[in-house]
Amino acid sequence: MTNVNPQDSSPQYRLPQKRDIVTAIPGPKSIELQGRRAMAVAGGVGSTLPVYAADADGGVIVDIDGNSFIDFGSGIAVTTVGASNAAVGDAVAEQARHFIHTCFMITPYEAYVEVAERLNHLTPGDHQKRTVLFNSGAEAVENAIKVARLATGRDAVVAFDHAYHGRTNLTMGLTAKTMPYKYGFGPFAPELYRVPTSYPYRDGLSGPAAAALAISQMDKQIGADQIAAIIIEPVMGEGGFIVPAPGFLPAIAKWARSNEIVFIADEVQSGFARTGAWFASEHEDLIPDLVTMAKGIAGGMPLSALTGRADLLDAVHAGGLGGTFGGNPVACAAALATFKVMEELDLPGRARDIEVKAGGRLHAMAAVTEEIGEVRGRGAMLAIELVHRDSKEPNPELTKALVAACLAKGVVLISCGTYGNVIRLLPPLVINDELLHDGLDVLEDALNELTAVRGGL
Ligand SMILES: *Cc1c(COP(=O)(O)O)cnc(C)c1O
């Protein structure tokens, strides 16, 4: 398990931090397990990679055939402190030896209260805040909408193009992309609206200009006084790691405030050190009314949170928010340990360091590779958008080929984007520099090979 070295506060690892491919990918054991899985697991559950995990630590994932991969995905921005962080593992074991569950709604416990205190302090703004805990990101988003509707007495909820907010019925309605998230799963909840976001690479608009468009649509098509909430990811995740043009988010937040609309920052993917700050909202001095969090919150344990203005969260009648497992004590213990590791290792600082190192290399690749339309992101939430030469049309074929080529060489990469043409880099923040550069070498070689050999796939 990754430990913190007491001498220099650097991460220490249990597994060798190296890329080592010893079989064809996938290896024989993974192929066999894939066969069992096909007969047991619902076909609707996808897996991007055909290899099965046996162990993971720091910046590596080892599969059941003994291959050691560099992890550039962190299980979708979850294992920020490493997939087997010692402090998190110890906290989990210690709590599990005492009680694994009592249900906070029946017999409450301190760890839940302490997580709430920490989140009230860590999230942007020093106003009075309250927190409620759940199990998944989608659940946190659903509850943010519940709170906003009750507190405002209004119905309409606005989300944006390229948004991703989850897979439950309400959050599918908020999510933009139909395939695979929504296709055939409707009808969706009423009173959900979608307006344009800011996507500088494709819309060419300044932040204020893009905001004016969105605001005009909200005003004319819905009516400001009908809107309970506006929800947005400060860096759009599944939609393609889109960083809105400067000024876009503050303009939307300001308009929301002046119309008494609840502004919800969905920080499920961008939160917890990932973008070089505790929350991505901080990069533009946003103070959201409500913040939704999950993914990186608890070192891999399932936990999510909704934190925000005390007057909004306390407006809800007792018993109106909750759930059997929400704020499970083991998950809370893991979250407290995770926050501590993030502070001890200064992981927001490490994310900024990775932005310089990895971002620099991606920009160098883009300078000589016409298929890289744009390099973007914040901190260790970085991406390249792959396009066809000249036309700049999305290039999902090259994206797929690149992910497969990197996996075969020992690098786990995940793609995203409405057009399926974005490669995202989400390494654990405890990855060491050597592994980071080795993974980028693999990416660079594979990209060179694919773009040269095929004359621009
Ligand atoms: C992943 C994600 C969600 C959904 O979280 P789950 O835990 O998968 O339900 C919601 N919002 C954003 C921004 C996400 O990235």
The 10s digit of each residue's pLDDT in 303-339 is 999 999 999 999 999 999 999 999 999 999 999 999 9
Residue with CA closest to ligand 1 atom 6:
137
Ligand 1: nearest atom to the Cα of 171: 10
- Same domain, yes or no, for 350 and 339? no
Residue with CA closest to ligand 1 atom 10:
165
**pLDDT for 3:** 72
pLDDT above 90: percentage of residues in the chain: 95
- Same domain, yes or no, for 238 and 164? yes
| Contacts of the segment 361-370: beta carbons below 8 A, 24+ positions apart | 361/437, 361/440, 361/444, 362/425, 362/440, 365/443, 365/444, 365/447, 369/447, 369/448, 369/451, 370/451, 370/456
Rounded to an integer, what distance in angstroms lies between the CA atom of residue 456 and that of residue 453? 8
Residue with CA closest to ligand 1 atom 11:
165
Average pLDDT of span 420-424? 98
- Same domain, yes or no, for 383 and 394? yes
Rounded to an integer, what distance in angstroms lies between the CA atom of residue 199 and that of residue 410? 32
C-alpha 286 to ligand 1 mean position (Å): 20
Ligand 1: nearest atom to the Cα of 233: 13
- Same domain, yes or no, for 100 and 74? no
Residues 423, 383: contact at Cβ < 8 Å? yes
- Same domain, yes or no, for 33 and 100? no
| pLDDT tens readout for residues 6-32 | 667 778 899 999 999 999 999 999 999
Owning domain of residue 402: 3-81+346-453
Ligand 1: nearest atom to the Cα of 267: 13
CATH assignment of the domain containing 162: 3.40.640.10
Instruction: Please give the distance of CA 440 from its chain centroid, rounded to a whole number.
Output: 21
Q: Which of 134, 160, 165, 272 to mutate to test the pocket of ligand 1 (most atoms within 8 A of CB)?
A: 165
Residues 171, 268: contact at Cβ < 8 Å? no
**pLDDT for 456:** 53
Domain boundary among 329, 344, 359: 344
Pocket-forming residues, ligand 1, beta carbon under 6 Å: 136-138, 141, 164-166, 233, 237-238, 266, 268-269, 294-295
| pLDDT tens readout for residues 280-289 | 999 999 999 9
Q: Are strands 372-378 and 304-309 parallel, antiparallel or unpaired?
A: unpaired
φ and ψ at residue 221, rounded to 5 degrees: -95, -25
- Same domain, yes or no, for 62 and 135? no
Cα maximum dimension of the chain: 64
Work out the angle at residue 279's Cα, subtended by the Cα atoms of residues 227 and 134, and round it to the nearest 5 degrees. 65
- Same domain, yes or no, for 263 and 393? no
Does the pLDDT at position 261 exceed 90?
Answer: yes
Domain boundary among 282, 311, 344: 344
Instruction: Tell me the pLDDT of the chain averaged across its residues.
Output: 96
CATH assignment of the domain containing 60: 3.90.1150.10
- Same domain, yes or no, for 192 and 287? yes
Q: How many CB atoms lie within 10 A of CB 5?
A: 10
Among the listed residues 42, 43, 65, 39, the one whose alpha carbon sits nearest the alpha carbon of residue 52: 65
Residues 175, 165: contact at Cβ < 8 Å? yes
Q: Which of 141, 268, 272 to mutate to test the pocket of ligand 1 (most atoms within 8 A of CB)?
A: 268
- Same domain, yes or no, for 260 and 280? yes
- Same domain, yes or no, for 309 and 199? yes
Domain boundary among 303, 324, 344: 344
Where residue 47 falls among pLDDT bands split at 50, 70, 90?
Answer: confident
Q: Is 68 helix (H, G, I), strand (E, B) or coil?
A: strand
C-alpha 290 to ligand 1 mean position (Å): 15
Ligand 1: nearest atom to the Cα of 236: 13
State the total domains in the chain.
Answer: 2
- Same domain, yes or no, for 110 and 132? yes
**pLDDT for 201:** 98
- Same domain, yes or no, for 192 and 240? yes
Q: In which region does residue 20 sit, left (phi positive, over 0), alpha (psi from -120 to 50) or beta (all else)?
A: beta
Average pLDDT of span 56-85? 98
C-alpha 65 to ligand 1 mean position (Å): 31
Q: How many CB atoms lie within 10 A of CB 441?
A: 14
Ligand 1: nearest atom to the Cα of 237: 15
**pLDDT for 1:** 54
